[in-house]
Amino acid sequence: SNTLHIVGGGMAGSEAAWQAAQAGVDVVIHEMRPRVGTFAHQTGNLAEMVCSNSFRSDDSEQNAVGLLHWEMRAANGLIMSAADAHRLPAGGALAVDRNPFSETVTERLKAHPRVSVSYEEIDSLPDEGQWIIATGPLTSSALGAAIQAETGAEALAFFDAIAPIVYAESIDMSKAWMQSRYDKGETEEERTAYLNCPMDREQYEAFIDALLAADKTEFHEGETAGYFDGCLPIEVMAERGRETLRHGPMKPVGLTNPHQPEVKAHAIVQLRRDNKLGTLFNIVGFQTKMKYGAQTDVLRMIPGLEQARFARLGGIHRNTFLNSPTLLDTQMRLKSKPNIRFAGQITGVEGYVESAAMGLLAGRMAAAEIQGRALTAPPGTTATGALVTHITGGAEARTFQPMNVNFGLFPPVEGLRGGRRGRKDRYKAYTDRAKDDWTAWLAAAEGMAEGMAGTL
Ligand code: FAD
């Protein structure tokens, strides 16, 4: 049949349904709420915002998430149009009146002649038909088990343990240096995968004090601490003993500081390249529940990171997500079952806006496939394209953790000056390029769809 089935009517599923229906495809949304709940959702509405009511920055010239807003608006996104309709005053951020927002999304989808909603939990991966799975970070356990059976236990995570990610250009290389532990690595790529930041005893002790004193987030109800083995937050390690970190992620062995070859470091913080572009580095083993403000203060105590800017801060959450770089093709299809696409947070993006954007793309791709045309992914120079490129291959699969949109995912624009002023110019250059490329991609996609309609 030519019907598209979407499992999960959240941010991604709702947008996917809208896009496919607007393209002329019949859609059934299968949503388990209100029959089966999650620990975070409160209502039976589609596209419920589970926590904050913010879509973050709306600045499409200087901010990557603002650019994503712009791209979704240009593509007639339902999530953006409902958010704009229920916008609350919040300076440069797009804050949303959450209940009217999700009611509007629900009503507009239900009113669409091509959309129907079936309130049921789906607990297996269908063998036939076109499907999009967009069940989010709180995917029901039965479906989670079915996905795990298909993909293998290692390829589906139930928690994220996110180490902070730093923009490479903001690391002070007069203090840090590039070296893998014991100079391991066969290729140039492997040997340039690590940066190191040294600490003397005094710096280490001050760092531990700050870590112990920092404000931390409590776990949500329904989150268990059972996943702790192997990914303890650094502050919990520090609580277990002042030397624990020095024997764990901060061990000063197998590394020589070329800036001070005669001095033995007391502790060393390692950063690992986080994307193929080499623009982002994560701090190895530094998953943390420190609050964001405290986190930047504490992390900037690390020598070399005094001026660090963060593409994302660390966290630990209940989060079901795939190892997309190994499992999904560039059409967001499961390689082993190509009648199934994934979209939203379960693909390893992070955030309401990013999830909706991946729904937008998956909905359009599925509709195109049903209608017998091919829709290639948008170029990696656009925000949507940068995200999908990251999750379907740009990210390091071995250490894959959920990602929010940021300029570190974009191919660099060459020939621009450094420094703060330079950064503003660079971000503007990124967003100008993205808008041109997104507009051209949309026009090509829509031209193709019209061409098809003409032949039918
Ligand atoms: P969801 O919006 O969660 O939608 C998934 C839908 O699938 C749900 O409606 C669910 O009921 C349904 N479903 C699940 N399993 C099944 C099944 N087997 N059959 C049928 N239906 C099913 N992001 C932010 O930007 N800001 C925040 O403040 C924020 N806070 C968060 C707080 C928590 C506690 C969590 C868990 C996540 C938070 N996120 C936040 C992250 C994330 O961006 C949101 O969860 C976002 O809603 C993800 O969109 P989605 O469409 O992928 O999933």
**Tens of pLDDT, residue by residue, the chain (456 residues):** 799 999 999 999 999 999 999 999 999 999 999 999 998 899 999 999 998 899 999 999 999 999 999 999 999 999 999 999 999 888 889 999 999 999 999 999 999 999 999 999 999 999 999 999 999 999 999 999 999 999 998 899 888 888 999 999 999 999 999 999 988 878 887 778 899 999 999 999 999 999 999 999 876 655 554 445 567 889 989 999 999 999 999 999 999 999 999 999 999 999 999 888 889 999 999 999 999 999 999 999 999 999 999 999 998 888 999 999 999 999 999 999 999 999 999 999 999 999 999 999 999 999 999 999 989 999 999 999 999 999 998 888 888 889 999 999 999 987 776 666 688 899 999 999 999 999 999 999 988 777 765 554
User: Distance between terminal CA atoms of the chain?
Assistant: 17
Who contacts 446 (Cβ-Cβ below 8 Å, separation ≥6)? none
417, 422, 428, 430 alpha-carbon torsion, rounded to 10°: 50
For residue 31 and ligand 1, the question of a CB distance below 6 A is answered with yes
Who contacts 98 (Cβ-Cβ below 8 Å, separation ≥6)? 48, 49, 53
Residue ID of nearest Cα to ligand 1 atom 1: 10
- Paired strand residues for 315: 162
Q: Tell me the CA–centroid distance for residue 351 and ligand 1, in Å.
A: 9
pLDDT of residue 421: 66
Could you give the angle at the alpha carbon of 324 between the alpha carbons of 284 and 196, nearest 5°? Answer: 15
CA distances from 62 to 263, 276, 280, 292, 384 (A): 42, 23, 18, 21, 16
| Residues 407, 397: Cα–Cα separation, whole Å | 20
Tokens of 406: 């940021």
| Residues 112, 414: Cα–Cα separation, whole Å | 45
pLDDT of residue 42: 92
Residue ID of nearest Cα to ligand 1 atom 3: 136
Residue ID of nearest Cα to ligand 1 atom 53: 136
Q: Tell me the CA–centroid distance for residue 163 and ligand 1, in Å.
A: 21
**49 Cα nearest atom in ligand 1:** 47
| Residues 64, 60: Cα–Cα separation, whole Å | 7
Neighbours of 144 (CB within 10 A): 17
pLDDT of residue 456: 46
Pocket test for ligand 1, best of 7, 43, 51, 353 (most atoms within 8 A of CB): 51
Is 0.95 exceeded by the ipTM?
yes
For residue 33 and ligand 1, the question of a CB distance below 6 A is answered with yes
Per-residue burial over 397-427, b if 16 or more Cβ lie within 10 Å, else e, is: eeebbbbbbbbbbbeebeeeeeeeeebeebb
Question: Omega of the bond prior to 89 within 30 degrees of 0, cis?
Answer: no
For residue 138 and ligand 1, the question of a CB distance below 6 A is answered with yes
